[in-house]
Chains A and B, each alone.
Chain A
Amino acid sequence: VIHDGGEVLERAPPPGVLCCGPPSSAMFLLHRALITRRLAGVGVRCCQKHTLPDLPYDYNALEPVISADIMQLHHSKHHQTYVNNLNVAEEKLAEATAKGDVSTVISLAAALKFNGGGHINHTIFWKNLSPDGGEPEGELLAAINRDFGSLDALKSQLSAATVAVQGSGWGWLGYNKQKGALQIATCPNQLQGLRPDTELILYGARIPVVEETRFLGLMDPLEATTGLVPLFGIDVWEHAYYLQYKNVRPDYVNAIWKVADWKDISARFNSAK
């Protein structure tokens, strides 16, 4: 599947394979009905389509930190593409599973992870942000002080690690359930092959190598890949900031703290611990 802007462009399906097209077409609905009925006959539930979640605020609500143009493109084009492509991958997975086509099932893994990760990550991201997100307090603030020393130290460390991501990726504040502690993670991670508890130097920042985050990809969903529960994510794919901040990623990362929704982050923390 090639994604061109926000559209999913399908190649012509090979003969004998029903493929779901873009949601607006009548043929798509017919194919879906046929697949669903046929798969239901073999006990496979199919075609529970993912949809793009609405933002909890208007496109311009996060200005001046993130422009309305960016929010509109990011949500209605980029996130929508992950949703579309995830649905396509899941349709193909259901078909392949029903046919017992293990090779195809395996070949779909990358698309599921990339597009599923994109859908999960952006769904969290929109809720992580708010025009009036307040400040951390209570147990979350206590955990921040315990694990980082202070809120400023957390901001400084997560910002440095996120700015230092090479290419496209995310910076995360996560919760490590095994250790009962907050932890920073970045995707992608340049730490492959490095021993844990060492350090990497990028853009002048010292990035600690942590076991759980050594092999993350650029859109990997944090929890599925590392077990860390995502609390707050910072998208540093260039589309997340370039129209407004150009190449000055540090300005964007430093500014995004002004629209962090600490109520949402606290809620995730409380569910996780």
Chain B
Amino acid sequence: MTLGVLHHLIEAEEATDVAAMNALLPAIKFNGGGHLNHTIFWTNMAPNAGGDPSGAIADAINEEFGSFQAFKDKFSAASVGVKGSGWGWLGYCPKNNKLAVATCQNQDPLQVTHGMIPLLGLDVWEHAYYLQYKNLRADYVKAFFNVINWSNVNERLETARKSAGH
């Protein structure tokens, strides 16, 4: 889907058709964002994973939220509370070297929307859980903590800190 839209964008650009380029922007954000978000999501999870975080991410979580449980509560509440389709995120703010919980609607990418680097994402579009959990999004969000791949989250934090110069 993204390739098709980008193809149209290139055509419009070559024709200097600014109106056509503008008309394509929502589709680029939607499909491009969807590609970015899901690519991160698959790496954020693993079998035989979950449990408590360790290493740098654990320290950062304790510093920012007070405890892992406090982070879980905040992340869960935010993710359950997304109206309609969207994502819950643990993000890294490169300006002040801090973590934060944030949400985005639809496939809006975290970095463009909130200026944060995505570390851990949870898809709460209904397609992500409905066949199994039906309307009980809270159960799905709770279960997500059983499959979080914390070493991947640690890798993302390390990369984010390096590129931010911290």
Inside 8 A of B81's CB, which chain A residues have their CB? Answer: 2
Residues 103-157 (chain B) with a chain A CB within 8 angstroms: 105-107, 125-127, 130-131, 134-138
Name, among B80, B85, B137, the residue most crowded by chain A CB atoms within 10 Å (CB to CB): B85
Q: Are B127 and A247 in contact (CB under 8 A)?
A: yes
- Which stretch in A55-63, A137-145, A236-244, A264-272 binds the other chain? A236-244
Which residues of A sit under 8 angstroms from B30, Cβ to Cβ? 166, 190, 202
Neighbour of A242 across the interface among B23, B83, B107, B130, CB < 8 A: B130
Are A5 and B83 in touch, CB under 8 angstroms? no
CA distance A79 to B141 in the complex (A): 21
Bound-state CA distance A160–B85 (Å) is 20
| Contact pick for B135, options A78, A114, A169, A246, CB 8 Å | A78
Query: Within 8 Å of chain B (Cβ to Cβ): is A218?
Result: yes
Interface flag for A156 (CB, 8 Å): no
Partner of A201, one of B23, B77, B134: B23
A6 to B23, CA, bound (A): 39
Residues 23-51 of B contacting A (Cβ, < 8 Å): 23-24, 26-27, 30
Q: Are A167 and B84 within 8 A (Cβ)?
A: yes
| Contact-residue size bin, chain B (C-beta under 8 Å from the other chain) | 20 to 34
- Alpha-carbon distance between A6 and B105 when the two chains are bound, in angstroms: 22
Beta-carbon contact of A2 and B80 below 8 Å: yes
* Least distance between B118 CB and chain A CB atoms (Å): 18
Q: Is the pair A201, B138 in contact by a Cβ cutoff of 8 Å?
A: no
Residues of A contacting B62 with CB < 8 Å? none
Q: Which of A105-125 contact B (CB under 8 A)?
A: 114
Q: Which residues of B contact A78 (CB under 8 A)?
A: 135
A218 touches B84 (CB 8 A): yes
Contact present for B26 and A166 (CB under 8 Å): yes
Interface pair B135/A5, CB less than 8 Å apart: yes
Interfacial chain B residues near A198, Cβ < 8 Å: 19, 23
Shortest distance from the beta carbon of A198 to any chain B beta carbon, whole Å: 7
- A73–B131 Cα distance when bound, in Å, is 12
Give chain B residues whose Cβ lies under 8 Å from the Cβ of A238: 85, 125-127, 130
What are 28 A-B interface contacts by the 8 Å CB criterion? A2-B77, A2-B81, A4-B136, A4-B137, A4-B138, A5-B134, A5-B135, A5-B136, A5-B138, A6-B135, A77-B135, A114-B83, A166-B26, A166-B106, A167-B107, A188-B84, A198-B19, A200-B23, A201-B23, A201-B24, A201-B27, A202-B27, A218-B84, A218-B85, A219-B83, A238-B130, A239-B135, A243-B131
> Closest 10 A-B residue pairs measured CB to CB?
A168-B84, A167-B85, A238-B126, A167-B106, A190-B26, A218-B84, A4-B138, A77-B135, A5-B136, A168-B85
